[in-house]
Structure 1
Amino acid sequence: MAWNLRRIRVGKGLSQEKLAADAGVDRAYFAKLERQAVNVGVDVLDKLSGALGVQLVEFFEMPEEGAEQPSVLRGGRKPK
């Protein structure tokens, strides 16, 4: 789930801070979600999917074999 969350967020050029604010989720908690340091409830996933404009099921897609780890945005900014 965390892999897909980061992949979708970075693909849309959103920082953790921006997405957390848009979804009404604490930024520190959101960062822990992406690091797989906390468990997440369906209510939070629903907020995140709404803020990202994706269906909830997209968080649970299996990555293709050999897929690279999603990149991170440098300094919370959109990639150039």
Structure 2
Amino acid sequence: MSHPPLSHRPKNAREQLAFSLRRMRAERDWTQEDLSHVSGLDRSFIAHVERAARNISIDNIEKIANAFGVSIGDLF
């Protein structure tokens, strides 16, 4: 997995997760609603996570990783 240049990298884990979710959704041409459906999480929750506005549990990180078919580590 390639990473953005250091000057554009998110500052913390919450921002990194938000960046990864937006990127992975774009790569799959998924809407937030699509990710919501596949992960079993509410669309508004996905939106909050993508804005780095919510602290997310490891259980929900795992649901998102499973929805994308990646490991939890690939989200960071």
Q: Output the TM-score relative to the length of structure 2.
A: 0.75
Structure 2 residue corresponding to 1:34, chosen from 41, 50, 64: 50
Deviations along 1:3-37, one digit per CA (max 9) or x if unpaired, are 01111111111110011111000100110000011
Please state if 1:6 is matched with 2:19: no
Structure 1: segments with no counterpart, 5+ residues:
61-80
* Structure (1/2) with the larger helix percentage: 2
Please state if 1:15 is matched with 2:37: no
Structure 2: segments with no counterpart, 5+ residues:
1-16
Q: Output the TM-score relative to the length of structure 1.
A: 0.71
What number of residue pairs does the alignment pair up?
A: 60
Alpha-carbon distance in 2 for matches of 1:33, 1:17:
13
